[in-house]
Amino acid sequence: MIIVMQHGASKEQVDHVFERITSIGLRYQAIYGEERVVIGVIGEEDLIRTLPIDAMPGVERSFPILHEFRLADREWHKEPSEVTVDGVVFGGTKVVVIAGPCAVENEAMLVETAERVQAAGASMLRGGAFKPRTSPYTFQGHGESALAYLAEARSATGLPVVTEVMDTADIELVASYADVLQVGARNMSNYSLLKKVGKLGMPVLLKRGMASTVRELLMSAEYILSNGNMKVILCERGIRTFEDGTRNTLDMSAVPAIKSMSHLPVIVDPSHATGRSAYIASMSKAAIAAGADGLMIEVHPNPEEAISDGAQSLTLDQFDQLMRELGPIAAAVGREI
Ligand code: PEP
Ligand code: MN
């Protein structure tokens, strides 16, 4: 940690900071500049974080040198990590495509969607059973019966399934049906949920909160990792900005930013990011070009009739067409689709 003293901080104030540092067994190195004193703290950074440095008289500011997300940090784990789900590898050469409806509406639509997206080249099926809706008066998901339909669709196709868990009380239930637990944007900062999915040990798809920084996303991932679960896949799904021409603003720069900061695989959800089916193809291509390890795309047999997120859902034919267009983009950046 680096501590910058205020301009004109007294010798007593500087000495007091030194005393507090040494009182917990750490060392320091001070630089006496013309304007101010800068103190470098040497030793375990976790320990210095236990001191209220910024509250000490004469301290202007302090900043850590090490990232707080050490298990997610690329500095400690230089090679990108792979997360494997039933033979589907996130973070390998192949760009993994997860597709399916926003919500599981019934068995027939789910199985039809699963078969068609699989034929088009998707490797995993998505579908919400517990839906985090902005309004409590809208469809909240079919719950356990939807989970059972997901399991049926998996048996019919062999596609692993990812579905959201919203509540700590539902973790065991959702985990008994799903192959990957999704923690949605609204729950990215639900630390109790993160700790529990960490303890469970099954793969987690962690979506970036709509008002969260990349650093905060990595800190949330750290909650899962530090509870013993290294199988974390990150997802950029758009953030809130002043722009209202799209549902959210897809922060494509988050992909290389996350890749430089962390070894964890990262995928992009162009559906929730844009809210418009017409923009999904270009954003999917851009995501692959930016280095994303996968895509999560909402697809519905009849978007006009969808119970939720129809405007951003591709038809089965549109998805098929998109998958064909993605191949050359993936090849251009040394990947496969
Ligand atoms: C979803 O993927 O079903 C979803 C609700 O997305 P988000 O959490 O990103 O809003
Ligand atoms: Mn949706």
pLDDT of residue 330: 98
**Residue in 237, 251, 267, 309 to alter for ligand 1 test, most ligand atoms within 8 A of Cβ:** 237
Would you say 204 and 229 are in contact if contact means Cβ atoms under 8 Å apart? yes
Return d(Cα 69, Cα 135) in angstroms, integer. Answer: 34
* Cα 69 to middle of ligand 1, angstroms: 24
pLDDT for 21-57, tens place per residue?
A: 999 999 999 999 999 999 999 988 888 888 999 999 9
Q: Where are the alpha helices (DSSP H) in the chain?
A: 11-23, 45-48, 107-120, 144-157, 171-177, 191-200, 214-225, 254-261, 270-274, 280-289, 316-332
Q: List the structure tokens of 97.
A: 């495509």
- Looking at the domain that runs over 83-332, which CATH code has it been given? 3.20.20.70
pLDDT confidence band for 293 (50 / 70 / 90): very high
Check residue 45 and give its pLDDT: 83
pLDDT band per the 50, 70, 90 thresholds, residue 66: confident
* Residue to mutate, 135, 269, 280, 308, ligand 1, most ligand atoms under 8 Å from C-beta: 269
184 lines ligand 1 (CB under 6 A): yes
CATH of domain 2-63: 3.30.70.1140
pLDDT interval class at 119 (50, 70, 90) = very high
What are the residue ranges spanned by the domains of the chain? Answer: 2-63, 83-332
Rounded Cα distance between 125 and 26, Å, is: 51
From atom 9 of ligand 1, which residue's Cα is the shortest distance away? Answer: 185
Q: Are 85 and 110 in contact (CB under 8 A)?
A: no
Could you read off the pLDDT of 91-105 as tens digits, one per residue? Answer: 999 999 999 999 999
pLDDT given for residue 242 in this prediction: 98
Return the residue whose CA atom lies nearest to atom 6 of ligand 1: 184
Task: Tell which atom from ligand 1 comes closest to the C-alpha of 182.
Answer: 2
Tell the residue number behind the tokens 């005393």, with chain if given.
19
Band (68; pLDDT cuts 50, 70, 90): confident
3-state SS of 145-196 is: HHHHHHHHHHHHHCCCEEEECCCHHHHHHHHHHCCEEEECHHHCCCHHHHHH
Phi/psi for 126 (5° steps) reads: -110, 160
Q: Which of 135, 139, 182, 239 to mutate to test the pocket of ligand 1 (most atoms within 8 A of CB)?
A: 182
Q: 207: Cβ below 6 Å to ligand 1?
A: yes
